[in-house]
Homo-oligomer: A and B are copies of this chain.
Amino acid sequence: MPKVGQEPARRAALVSATISEIGQTGSLDVTVGQIAKRAGMSTALAHYYFSTKDAIFLAAMRHILTEFGRLVRTRMASAVTPIDRLNAIIDASLSREQFADEIVAAWLVFYVQAQHSPEAGRLLRVYARRLHSNMVHNLSMLVPRDRAWDIAEGTASMIDGIYIRHALQDSAPDRPKARALVRDYLRLTLAEIGVRLERAH
């Protein structure tokens, strides 16, 4: 019997190496060689597990999205009210894990990748849509449907914007401040409709 069961470990190593490499160089100009080296194997082996460079990238994207999805679900599990759930989404987006420099840089790069890789675009769009409908669902319990749509869009945009600015600037707001910013937006939009909730702490 051959040396077996290496596949999951190797694939994981490659995915992780890809994210690190992209995150650190902050660009898509990452060679399979760099990735493989960081993952501790030859380029040939990288191609053995992922037939193509694009496949590696997609796997890395999928990993980040999945990780994020898992995080959202975890945080939402312990929430009871719709508002708690909305805040859970915000907090997950701006959690220590997701807001790590490396991850944020990778996100940005993937957004660009999505502009010309149909598959990457699909992936990102699916995630965005899911998140959106999740928010709309919870918002609908508090405000009219059409307003819910707007608020969800506004919240998501602000989060994405914070990401993009974080990737670029040192002077960008830190995690707590960023969270407060988004929570505040939510609070205000809801307050207008008459939904009262305590000030974001």
Contact = CB atoms under 8 A, between A and B. Distances in A.
A28 interface: yes
Contacts of A136: none
A181 B157 contact: yes
A111 B164 contact: yes
Nearest to A167: B115
A112 interface: yes
Interface stretch (A8-16, A67-75, A84-92, A121-129): A121-129
A138 interface: no
A153 B173 contact: yes
- Of the four ranges (under 10, 10 to 19, 20 to 34, 35 or more), the interface on chain A belongs to 35 or more
* Copies of this chain per assembly: 4
A43 interface: no
Contact of A164 (B109, B161, B168): B161
Contacts of A129: 171
Given A164-B164, A165-B160, A189-B188, A27 B112 contact: yes
A154 B158 contact: yes
A111 B114 contact: no
A192 to B, nearest CB: 6
B150 A156 contact: no
Contacts of A27: 28, 112-113, 115-116
A162 interface: yes
Contacts of A181: 150, 153-154, 157
Interface in A93-120: 105, 108-109, 111-116
Interface of A: 25-29, 105, 108-109, 111-116, 121, 124-125, 128-129, 150, 153-154, 156-165, 167-169, 171, 173, 177, 180-181, 184-185, 188-189, 191-192
